[in-house]
Amino acid sequence: MSPKKKLLINTLVFSALLEIIAVIMTFTLPETVVSKSLPFLVPFFLSVSILTNLPLISVPAENPNKFVRVFMLTTFSKFILYAIVLFIYSMINKDDAVKFMLSFMVLFILYLVFDVVFLINNLPKKR
């Protein structure tokens, strides 16, 4: 199976499990504990994860310098996008800001671990 197909399948399965957990938490826990936007954060992280990992797994193994450049660009882009989303949501929904940031942080860590493990296991090897 190609790395791109593997990325899509693994990320979709991982995100589907997280989405199920997020929906269950949203409907079972009181609104004072969990952010009402939690189920909408999972598709956001899914799309960012796929869009930033596809270029990384497409870099040929013979060109490690290009991998470093693409990695730095995608990491910086993610950071800026995440900061913008956190800032805008916090300014619009001040009452939900802390719960949103905690939910965001937990999903960020989960997707960070998932992305790192996936990339380590699926990057092209130099022959």
Q: Tell me, rounded to whole angstroms, the distance of Cα 70 from its chain centroid.
A: 17
pLDDT along the chain (127 residues), means of 10: 88 95 90 86 95 88 85 94 96 92 94 92 70
Closest CA to 41 of 26, 53, 57, 56: 26
Q: What pLDDT does 94 receive? A: 92
Contact in structure between 114 and 49 (CB atoms under 8 Å): yes
What SS3 state is found at 127? coil
**Rounded to whole angstroms, how far apart are CA atoms 68 and 70?**
6
- In 10 A of CB 43, how many CB atoms? 13
Contacts of the segment 38-41: beta carbons below 8 A, 24+ positions apart? 38/103, 41/103, 41/104, 41/107
Q: What pLDDT does 119 receive? A: 87
Q: State both tokens at 102.
A: 């905690």
**Rounded to whole angstroms, how far apart are CA atoms 35 and 76?**
26
DSSP 8: H
What SS3 state is found at 25? helix
**Rounded to whole angstroms, how far apart are CA atoms 27 and 87?**
26
Q: What pLDDT does 21 receive? A: 94
Q: What pLDDT does 110 receive? A: 96
